[in-house]
Structure formats: C-alpha cells, structure tokens
Structure 1
Amino acid sequence: MLASLRGNLNGLVKAKYKAARAAQSLIFSSTELAIIETEASVPFQLRYCPALAKKPQKDASTEDVKDKSKKPDPFDNPDEALLIAQLPEENPSHLLVLNKYPVIPEHFILATKQNKQQTALLERDDLEAMHACLKGWEEASSNSEPKRLFAFFNSGDHSGASQPHRHVQFLPVEEMAGDCETGRWKMLIDIIEDQAPSQGMGYSDLISHPDLPFLHYGQRITPDIDATGLFELYTRLYRAAESAVRLYIEKNPGTLRLHPTEGESNPISYNLGLTTSFMAICPRRKEGETLLRSDGSEIGSVALNGTLLAGTLMVKNEEEWELLKSNKSKFDEILGAVGIPSNARDPKFEYNKI
C-alpha cells in the first residue's frame, strides 16, 4: 500500500509540517515536560500545555457537546496545506494528513477516505496501512540515527476519541522523547513488550505488565506478518478487552454500561497502540478523572487517550502539573480510574505470570 512512500515517508511528513507551520495552516502548542513515575516506578511523561486552557469552551446550554456528529469533519476534503498523501495512489482508500493542532512536531493522521465509524472494528486495510506507515518510517532511518513511530487508535466515548470519522494517529518517537534525560523515559508499549515471549500467537501468549494499575493486553508482532495476521491479532486483543469489560460490569453492577451497538459500533471503549514489533490494547471505563485539593474542592479534570500506551499524558493548568509531579499515589489513582482493574481479567486470556 505504501510502495510509493517507502523510504520517504519521513521526508514527506517533515516537509509538509515545516511548510504548514510556516504558513500558519497548523497551530503548534509547546509543552513543558517532566518525567513522573507510578508507585511501582514505571516512568511516564507529564506534559504541561497552558495553551489548552485558553481554547474557548462550547456552551452546553446551546449545543450538545457530547454529540460528535455535529462537529465538522476534518477528513472530508482536508486542507491541501495539511494533506500529505492519498493511499494507494490509484483508487485511494485512506488519507495521510497533518494534525492541525499538534503538541508534538510532525504529528500526523491516517484516515479512511470514506467516512467510516470510529466505533467499529478496524478493518484489514486499516491495519495494513498502519503497519506500512510504521515500517516505512523506520526504513528511512539509519543505524546511526534510528527513527520510530508510535500509532494509536481511540474508540468509544471513554477512550479520548474526538472525531467520529475513523482515523489512527502517529507520533514520531524521537520528537515525543524531546529533551528527556537519557534513561529516564521509555515508551510504555515498549516496557510492556519487554514482558512478552519471543514467539507465539495463541491466547496463552497475551501478556501485560504486572505493575500497572489498569488492565491491558499485548502481543508481539512477527516481522513477516501480513494484513490477515494483523487483523487476527487485533481481534484477539479486542475479544480479551471486551471480555474484561463485561466481567467488570458483572462484578460491579451499575458502575459502567456497554455502549449502544447500532450499525457496526462496538460495545466498549478502548485504546490500541502499535509499533512495528508489538500491539497493545487498553479497555477504558472513563475518559478522565477529576483532581481534588485536600479540602475537597476541584482543581480540574485530566483526560487520557491512546497516548496512555506511549506512557505520556498532558495537563493544562499549573496546579494539576504540580500535584501530579509530587504525588505518585494520585497519579496511580488516575490510571486506575480510567482503566479496568486488573481483577477483571478473564483467566482464559491470561499469559502465565512471570
């Protein structure tokens, strides 16, 4: 699918990003970066972006802000200044476009050309295009300067999804790392992969990190995997995630509901993360969590999307920033609140504990 971009995707994205930023066709917001840790010493990036707090908020009295169908579709005839490519070149099924409001340079998006549902299962050609972008990006790197992408997909009301038109997002790992001190941060999906067996594609090989306060599953991707293999792996992970949500609802009645399944929509919210060597899924029960002061007053709400699986999150006000930098237990509470507790794990999907 990406034959025409092989070895050149980095260059295309970089040139388009540079031109779009110079022309003010996109709005880059800088962030301040700190490394924080869970109580089990798993490192995360915490980004502080005060520009987010300045964005105007919609008036809930005049518009249903939860109705994403009322938002304009950024992937329907996208701005030429943001359009990177159409894939494949003949009879294209997907578009590559720059994110109009990035906080990471060269953040770009793979969207279906046809307006397909974000809440439906990804299809084989979606996964094939995702993996091809990841591989194409790495192929343009050198041994002295390796380059990687992280891909993530948000699906469902509790996932951090912002657009109903199906799309996958990509972040350059080296841009994400920024000026992190060497050794202080590693992508969470890579940390999870470190737990994985070197071979195997069965249910017994689904693994997770034992020290994270939210349920997740991952599995290694073989170098020669094709679109069918990617789809089988993805649906295997999805079934494990849905089983966990249903088990959680059964054990905790009244705390969470399955989503309506009109059309092809799925009943759960989840985030999917992907690199060339690993795929991971995290079922969700909340989009974010409210931070409170010691007197019970509200500081603000921290929302998370699929960048959770990269090991990064963002806040928009200084009090949130200072609290999470200084309070590991509060950070663990947020991670536990937005995900499904590990005790909802269905034993038939569990990898033998390390």
Structure 2
Amino acid sequence: MQLGLSEALPALVARRFTAARDAGHLIFSKTHLSIINAAGISYQLRYCPALAKKPSNLKPDNAPKLQKPDPFENPSPDLLIAQFPPENPAYNLILNKFPVIPNHFLLVTKDWQAQTDLLEKADLEATYECLKAWNTKDDSDASLFAFFNSGDDSGASQPHRHLQFLPVEDMRQPGSENWHPLIDLLATELASPSPSSPPKFKHLSGLPFAHFALPLPPNPSADTLHSIYITLYKAAAAATRAGSSGQDNESVSTQGPASISYNLAMTRSTMLICPRRQETALVPVDHVAARDVVDPGLLSLNGTILAATLMVKAQGEWDSLRENPEHLTQVLATVGYPRTDSRGPSL
C-alpha cells in the first residue's frame, strides 16, 4: 500500500494544521506540561484548563437522546489531509479538530467500520505506511507515535474506526527533552522473536498494569503486522480472565467484535497492547477549590498512556499528581488489569 502523497507527510500535515488553526477550523488548546517520575518511569503530565469548564446549557435528564452525527462520514475539506491509496481510496487522513498537541492527525476508514471490531490487515498496513512516511531524508530522526482505542473502557470517543498519530517532536516542550514515549523504553531492549519458539513479551517493571510488546521487523508485510497484532491481542484477552475461566488463547476470535477493551500503540520498531478494565480513575483533590470543575478528581485515560502521557483538566488534579507520584501509579493500576504474564524479562 502506497500513500501516493505529492509532498512529504510531515510537511503536508504541518501545512494543513497551520492553515486550519489560523482559519479557526480546528480548536487548539494549550497545555501546561510537567514531568513526573513514578516507579522509575518519566511521564508527561499535561494540564488543560479548557477541559474544566462546566457547560452552561445542560439538558434535563429526561430530554430525548439524539444520535451523534459521524464526523468521519464526510470529513470537512478544511481538516482533510489526504486520501489513499490513490487508485481506490479506502482511508482518509484527517486533522484532529480539538488537538492539544500540534499536528495531531487520524487515519480513518472511508466506509463505516466499527471501532470495537478487531483491526484488519489493511488497517495495520496503512498505519505502518504513515509511520514510515514520517521519516524523511531531511529529518531521519523524526518519529511518530500511533495509538488505537477500542472498547467502552479504552477512552475511545468515536465509534467509526480510526487510529491516531502524534509526532513525538511536537509532544516535547522545553523541560521535557529527556522524556521518551513509554513504547520506546520497551523498544530499546526488544529482541527479535525466534520463529521456532513462543513469543517472549517484554514488560517494564515500573508499569503497574498488564501490557505486552513485540518487535516489528524492518518493512513488515501486512500479514506479519496482523500476526503480531493477533498474538498481542490474545495475550491481552488472556490477561482479562486470568484466574477465572482458563480459556485457551487459541479459542479467542480473531475477527469481528473484540472481546475486550484495549489500547494499542505502534511505532516503526514496536507494537504494544494493554487491556483496559476502566476508562477513568480518581485522584484526591481539594473539592472546595474544584467546585467549578466537572467531576473533580476524575481522570479519563486513553492510549496516550502507552506514550507515558496523560492529561488533567484541573489545577487540583495536576497538583495532586505532581506532589504525590504514587497517585499516578494507583491510577494506572486502576484502569488496567493486574500483571500476570512473566514469560518475558522485565526491563
């Protein structure tokens, strides 16, 4: 699968992002950034005050619920970056309309596909093509973080299938030069699996939830990407029922609706998955100071946790996590499943 773009992907995304932002077609919210260390891992903690404002036009509980329109069915030309493959487009590249990090964009299926269904070979191939296209001759060190939220407890916001991309260079700000996406911490020690032996998943000892990672070979085929994805998915599914059913991994369906909620992350070198049991978790905050905040202390987490990045909406939440990093460890343990897999060594 070829993207068939007329210019380098980073330049195209940056040009379209700047034009859309300056014309008001997307709403960019600035964040305050702090780096905190929890159990030996450095996390980006972003504070976005724009998220804390309570809506003033709340509808009564008995008001009829209207079906939300699909923003991906006919994407705005002002947010559309490209369509591909050129000969028969199956995917749109679209700017995130409400970004907090510059140049945040999405890979979206043109036709309706459910976000809760398992990814297909073409989805993974298209994702890898975007990751590969981000590295140009002018900036061979540029990197892109891809993530996918699937299921009610994953932090997914739209039911139409989409994967998301964040340029790592845009995630960094002054003071966070030594921060690295969590998935990259795994990648530095991943060894190529042997075809004759079971996969050995690596894990980070300081990460308090079940997670599974495998390396990607250079220029993997769609079949290879899908095989690695299914291997990881089966491990994640097994982690959600550890100690309960004992169901064999081989009986897990590998197509159609997923049986679990999970986050997937991907770079050119690594694929990582974590099963999710909750979308949200609470941190202790001063409720008097947070009286004008929606759901004070309630954090919603998505696949950016696999980049060691999370966002809060209130000063009290930001202060709580910065002053007590152990609260972050508790939050992560709450939204994920306990670690039970020990086939791979800790990093």
Residues 59-84 of structure 1: CA deviation (Å, up to 9, x unaligned): 4714688xxx9221111111000001
Aligned match for 2:322, one of 325, 332, 349: 325
Structure 1 residues 94 and 64 mapped into 2: Cα distance closer, same or farther (>3 Å)? farther
Q: Which AA in structure 2 matches 1:190?
A: D
Aligned to 1:111: 108
- What's the offset of the Cα at 1:3? 4.3
- In structure 2, the gaps of 5 or more residues are 247-252
Aligned match for 1:272, one of 241, 244, 264: 264
Structure 1 residues 114 and 286 mapped into 2: Cα distance closer, same or farther (>3 Å)? same
Aligned to 1:237: 232
- What's the offset of the Cα at 1:290? 1.6
- What's the offset of the Cα at 1:291? 1.9
**Greater mean alpha carbon deviation, residues 196-205 or residues 208-217:** 196-205
The SS at the match of 2:210 is coil
The SS at the match of 1:139 is coil
Q: Which AA in structure 1 matches 2:24?
A: Q
1:191 aligns with 2:188: no
The SS at the match of 1:264 is coil
The 5 Å alignment of 1:334-349 reads: 334-343=331-340, 345=341
Aligned match for 2:297, one of 296, 300, 305: 300
Aligned to 1:16: 16
Structure 1 residues 248 and 26 mapped into 2: Cα distance closer, same or farther (>3 Å)? farther
Structure 1 residues 30 and 157 mapped into 2: Cα distance closer, same or farther (>3 Å)? same
In the alignment, is the contact (CA less than 8 A) between 1:5 and 1:136 conserved in 2?
Answer: no
- What's the offset of the Cα at 1:264? 2.6
1:351 aligns with 2:344: yes
Residues 160-215 of structure 1: CA deviation (Å, up to 9, x unaligned): 000000000000100001223432x1110011223322454653322211221111
Aligned to 1:125: 122
Aligned to 1:41: 40
Aligned to 1:220: 215
Query: Hey, what's the Cα distance between the residues in 2 that align with 1:245 and 1:141?
Result: 44
1:90 aligns with 2:87: yes
Query: Hey, what's the Cα distance between the residues in 1 that align with 2:99 and 2:33?
Result: 15
Aligned match for 1:310, one of 304, 307, 312: 307
Query: Hey, what's the Cα distance between the residues in 2 that align with 1:152 and 1:222?
Result: 19
**Greater mean alpha carbon deviation, residues 189-198 or residues 45-54:** 189-198
- Identity percentage of aligned residues: 45
Query: Hey, what's the Cα distance between the residues in 2 that align with 1:289 and 1:148?
Result: 30
Query: Hey, what's the Cα distance between the residues in 2 that align with 1:166 and 1:249?
Result: 31
- Normalising by structure 2, we get a TM-score of 0.89
- In structure 1, the gaps of 5 or more residues are 252-260
In the alignment, is the contact (CA less than 8 A) between 1:8 and 1:140 conserved in 2?
Answer: no
Indicate the structure with greater helix content: 1
Query: Hey, what's the Cα distance between the residues in 1 that align with 2:203 and 2:23?
Result: 44
1:170 aligns with 2:165: yes
Residues 98-118 of structure 1: CA deviation (Å, up to 9, x unaligned): 000000000000000111010
In the alignment, is the contact (CA less than 8 A) between 1:29 and 1:102 conserved in 2?
Answer: yes
The SS at the match of 1:25 is coil
Structure 1 residues 337 and 87 mapped into 2: Cα distance closer, same or farther (>3 Å)? same
Structure 1 residues 193 and 27 mapped into 2: Cα distance closer, same or farther (>3 Å)? same
Q: Which AA in structure 1 matches 2:109?
A: T
1:2 aligns with 2:2: yes
In the alignment, is the contact (CA less than 8 A) between 2:276 and 2:337 conserved in 1?
Answer: yes
Query: Hey, what's the Cα distance between the residues in 2 that align with 1:208 and 1:237?
Result: 13
Query: Hey, what's the Cα distance between the residues in 2 that align with 1:267 and 1:337?
Result: 20
In the alignment, is the contact (CA less than 8 A) between 2:285 and 2:320 conserved in 1?
Answer: no
Q: Which AA in structure 2 matches 1:273?
A: A
The 5 Å alignment of 1:65-84 reads: 70-84=67-81
Structure 1 residues 64 and 317 mapped into 2: Cα distance closer, same or farther (>3 Å)? farther
Query: Hey, what's the Cα distance between the residues in 2 that align with 1:6 and 1:55?
Result: 43
Aligned match for 2:199, one of 204, 207, 222: 204
Query: Hey, what's the Cα distance between the residues in 2 that align with 1:135 and 1:64?
Result: 46
Tell me the number of residue pairs that the alignment of Structure 1 and Structure 2 aligns: 333
Query: Hey, what's the Cα distance between the residues in 2 that align with 1:213 and 1:81?
Result: 41
